[in-house]
Structure 1
Amino acid sequence: MSKRLRDPVHGLIVFDVENDPVDRLAWRLLDTPEFQRLRRIRQLGVSEFTFPSAVHTRFAHSIGVFHTARTLVRVIAREMRRNGGTPDDRKAEVALIAALLHDLGHGPFSHTFEHVQEARGARKRHEQWTAEIIRNPAGRIRPLLEAFRAGFAEEVAALLEREDPEDIYHAVVSSSFDADRLDYLRRDKLMTGTGAGGIDFDWLVENIRVAPIALDAPDGDDATPHRVRTFCLDRKALPAAEQFLLARYTLHEQVYFHKTTRCVEAMIGRLLAAVADAASGAGNAVERTGLPAGHPLLRFFGEGGETVQNYLALDDALIFGSLDAMTTAADPVIADMAARLRDRNLYKTLDLAEFGADKGRQASRQRWIEEEFADKIANGRVIRDDQAAIGIYAEIGGDEDRMHKRLHILDGGTPTEISRLSELIRALEPKKRFRRFYFADKADRDAARQIGRAR
């Protein structure tokens, strides 16, 4: 007996629940409230404001990641046997379930929510929330994992929390070719309808090899860098690897950092920050936010506290469904942001690339606009956005400089970072920074544009 799901990226995904204990556990995990919550969290947050079909969820993505992880585990077994080694079934089980559960800790609008929390001094990333949800003794995840094997919940949580890899099985969930990016790059490209380059998945997987790389540069002459085995690519896959990174770069440029998407993220961030201030500050939070008493946002940001239970009550659907109520808020920022987001009456964007690609020219225009609109920047009627930057390794999360996240090619049997072999990739290594302003009033945007052109 098996269970089947149809997926637009992978086709038929089969769970052999009768003969495979990991598949059986995975199928049971899908039905937990914690995992079902991912149906209500968009994979691309607010990208549907720009790309209407980008409504795929982290639920579908996570299943795709599990399916891809099974392929990578088979690759590890293949490479180990090729080199006279023996696969470690227990570590493979941990990696597979970690791949399935890796996104449990995402909050509403994912990275936008994290940025709001960071600004409030709460620096818990979604990986930490994921581990806490897995370890939660009152949740539905932990009992299933412990029934599979004593201590299994801790093994899975620890793998997802670990920043530095310890063995090849960590590469399944964190590497240049981890299951997460091998799914989301293809899924996001498909669901947004963008021509973001081709990914020759089958050829790349066929040419994955396992080799040790140095994680840390030596501090002195006698220092020995820590080495760990991870995924590399055979030399003949270099052209496919170049296309893989180009597709990733293009997705960041055209989708993840699209000016309208960034504008909506900034507006939602401002809305959530205002709700958090109202919920945690003095005064009547219900009146100030327009939300009913006991609303999950008021519980999380207010007296209920940032507990796992309160966190799991938050998702995209909840916030989108609360916009109408928040339009009645006494707080003018909350009321304005909620009405604008509900009706897609967005701030107007000025991208300083309009004034040319020269970085110095853009920087000077940015200073002039900041001086002219200083008061409105201070009160939020103008939002400055100069933090987005992409390079060939750019990714949301900012860990692209970690060596195990960089792509290595076997050159004469030696793992070599791809930019040393490819002029194309080397040319795209310097980061491209975006400089944008979002204006509540179109007249202000037009005036700022004239300032940029006139000087």
Structure 2
Amino acid sequence: MAISGKLSEEKVFKDPVHRYIHVRDKLIWDLIGTKEFQRLRRIRQLGTTYLVFHGAEHSRFNHSLGVYEIVRRIVDDVFKGRPEWNDDDRLLSLCAALLHDLGHGPFSHSFEKVFHMDHEVFTRQILTGDTEVNAVLRQMGDDFPKKVAEVIGKTYENKQVVSLISSQIDADRMDYLQRDAYFTGVSYGHFDMERILRVMRPREDQVVIKQSGMHAVEDYIMSRYQMYWQVYFHPVTRSAEVILTKILHRAKQLHKDYYTFRQDPVHFYSIFEEEVTTEDYLKLDESVVMYYFQQWQEEADPILSDLCRRFMNRNLFQYAEFNPAATVEMKKLMELTALFKKAGIDPDYYLVVDSSSDLPYDFYRPGEEEERLPIHLQLPNGDLRELSRQSEIVDAISGKRRTDHKLYFPLDLIKDMSSKRTAKKRIMELLNV
């Protein structure tokens, strides 16, 4: 097995969140230089959020470097020399941290929903396939790319390494909360990361927190809770996401119906057919997608051109609170659907229920996914206690899923329904606008 060498001189990236990101290992420097990793510069970390928080233009490249830096500090400064930590896992941990988001596509979650794709599958394919990243990783041995893929996929045998980037308190979350707070300009995502890192300890198959650091962890969990509801699930961001999703649905449907596009969607063919190769996937980034949206504003199909104009010019849908569990609300939706059809507005594209849901912290439930492993505090005598049993604040929100539903619609189109006055009046009443 090759031993990864050190660079003759340390490289640093200036970073607004961590001040400096340090690279001493040639392996890491070579990975950053691969075309697959450089592609992450062209994919925003927060998708459509820039349409609400105009500073949110940061990329998955920024974030990936940040996660790497947090893990580097943990393994080089906090864990090094501790008997419970195997320093042979150092480079594996650093590579997994750096490459954990490698398979994300443009506007990742919308694409995945519409085209039934999974960024984790593409991450694995990029790591183990015929790529520059794979060639660099193989310098550490032929099985090394597979090991990195297993850590990211949460199947690696050493759960301690996995938990550094995939747990309820991991380097991934610690970076994106602070980075997203910084670039959106909100104050919610800030917590004392330095303190958390200082009280992290390796234990058998997990990473635990010294009890003295409990309040810093409470702060972290509350900042995550706030960021989800104030930023990630912001209703206007969701409106942009709804329109984006509907553009992709419409383009896919038109392709299925043998519609002749003025701007031939060559980058989308294999995606429409759901037969995407890794090579096809890597050609997609947000600048490519935005080029098509720009061009599709001129398409003959009125739905596709209208939705693309809305997205490009930020003419978003309005929204109303909606409760799908209430019979009266579902009846209202059925009546609205019928009225939209009567008015010539396609409800499949212009009347959309969108749901957001988050579980801020969960205790261990046997049989559920690995990621829900709880945060354990290490007491002065060495015993472990699950966080919500020690913290009243965390106990208050533990295991409680919060869900929010909204109904999105184009208010401007409804207001323009001058020839359908009765339908328009009833729609306005039902939507309470």
Whether these two folds match at TM > 0.5 is yes
In the alignment, which of 378, 399, 404 is matched to residue 410 of structure 1? 378
| Residue matched to 1:225 | none
Cα contact 1:176–1:231 (8 A) shared by 2: no
Structure 1: how far apart are the matches of 2:105 and 2:354? 22
> 2:105 matched to 1:107?
yes
Q: Which residues in structure 2 correspond to 1:34-433 (within 5 Å)? A: 34-74=36-76, 77-78=79-80, 81=82, 84-85=83-84, 87-89=86-88, 91-118=89-116, 124-137=117-130, 139-163=131-155, 166-212=158-204, 229-279=205-255, 281-284=256-259, 287-288=260-261, 290-292=262-264, 295-302=266-273, 305-352=275-322, 363=326, 366-375=329-338, 376=340, 378-386=347-355, 388-393=356-361, 402=370, 405-411=373-379, 413-429=382-398, 430-433=400-403
How far is 1:67 from its partner?
Answer: 1.0
How far is 1:128 from its partner?
Answer: 1.3
Question: Structure 1 pair 323/452, CA: closer, same or farther in 2 (3 Å)?
Answer: closer
Structure 1: runs of 5+ lacking an equivalent? 17-22, 119-123, 213-228, 353-358
In structure 2, give the amino acid aligned to 1:107.
Answer: G
How far is 1:156 from its partner?
Answer: 1.3
Question: Structure 1 pair 197/14, CA: closer, same or farther in 2 (3 Å)?
Answer: closer
Moved more, 405-414 or 172-181: 405-414
In structure 1, give the amino acid aligned to 2:249.
Answer: A
In the alignment, which of 9, 17, 22 is matched to residue 17 of structure 2? 9
In structure 2, give the amino acid aligned to 1:145.
Answer: L
Cα contact 1:392–1:425 (8 A) shared by 2: no
The alignment partner of 1:435 has SS state of strand
Question: Structure 1 pair 428/315, CA: closer, same or farther in 2 (3 Å)?
Answer: same
Question: Structure 1 pair 36/86, CA: closer, same or farther in 2 (3 Å)?
Answer: closer
How far is 1:15 from its partner?
Answer: 1.8
> 2:409 matched to 1:439?
yes
Cα contact 2:79–2:202 (8 A) shared by 1: no
How far is 1:406 from its partner?
Answer: 2.8
The alignment partner of 2:236 has SS state of helix
Cα contact 1:99–1:173 (8 A) shared by 2: yes
How far is 1:53 from its partner?
Answer: 0.1
How far is 1:372 from its partner?
Answer: 2.3
Structure 2: how far apart are the matches of 1:400 and 1:108? 29
The alignment partner of 2:385 has SS state of strand
Structure 2: how far apart are the matches of 1:401 and 1:300? 29
Cα contact 1:368–1:451 (8 A) shared by 2: no
Cα contact 2:250–2:304 (8 A) shared by 1: yes
How far is 1:161 from its partner?
Answer: 2.1
How far is 1:56 from its partner?
Answer: 0.2
How far is 1:194 from its partner?
Answer: 0.8
How far is 1:324 from its partner?
Answer: 1.9
How far is 1:451 from its partner?
Answer: 3.6
Partner deviation per Cα, 1:316-343 (whole Å, 9 max, x = no partner) = 1211122221112233322121111011
How far is 1:364 from its partner?
Answer: 5.2
Structure 2: how far apart are the matches of 1:419 and 1:302? 47
In structure 1, give the amino acid aligned to 2:18.
Answer: H
TM-score relative to the length of structure 2: 0.85
How far is 1:207 from its partner?
Answer: 0.8
Cα contact 2:320–2:407 (8 A) shared by 1: yes
Partner deviation per Cα, 1:275-308 (whole Å, 9 max, x = no partner) = 22333x2424xx34x4236x312343249x3000
Structure 2: runs of 5+ lacking an equivalent? 1-8, 341-345, 416-423
Cα contact 1:177–1:231 (8 A) shared by 2: no
In structure 2, give the amino acid aligned to 1:313.
Answer: K
> 2:56 matched to 1:33?
no
In structure 2, give the amino acid aligned to 1:339.
Answer: R
How far is 1:418 from its partner?
Answer: 1.8
How far is 1:109 from its partner?
Answer: 0.5
Question: Structure 1 pair 103/447, CA: closer, same or farther in 2 (3 Å)?
Answer: farther
Moved more, 244-253 or 176-185: 176-185
Question: Structure 1 pair 404/134, CA: closer, same or farther in 2 (3 Å)?
Answer: same
Structure 2: how far apart are the matches of 1:432 and 1:235? 28
Partner deviation per Cα, 1:219-259 (whole Å, 9 max, x = no partner) = xxxxxxxxxx2111111111111110000000000010000
Moved more, 417-426 or 26-35: 417-426
The alignment partner of 1:53 has SS state of coil
Structure 2: how far apart are the matches of 1:307 and 1:235? 48
How far is 1:405 from its partner?
Answer: 4.2
Question: Structure 1 pair 323/203, CA: closer, same or farther in 2 (3 Å)?
Answer: same
Structure 2: how far apart are the matches of 1:101 and 1:88? 20
How far is 1:163 from its partner?
Answer: 4.5
Cα contact 1:62–1:100 (8 A) shared by 2: yes
In structure 1, give the amino acid aligned to 2:247.
Answer: L
In structure 2, give the amino acid aligned to 1:125.
Answer: D
The alignment partner of 1:52 has SS state of coil
Identity %: 30
Cα contact 2:378–2:385 (8 A) shared by 1: yes
Structure 2: how far apart are the matches of 1:40 and 1:257? 23
The alignment partner of 1:43 has SS state of coil
Partner deviation per Cα, 1:175-206 (whole Å, 9 max, x = no partner) = 22322111111101111111215311111111
Question: Structure 1 pair 433/85, CA: closer, same or farther in 2 (3 Å)?
Answer: closer
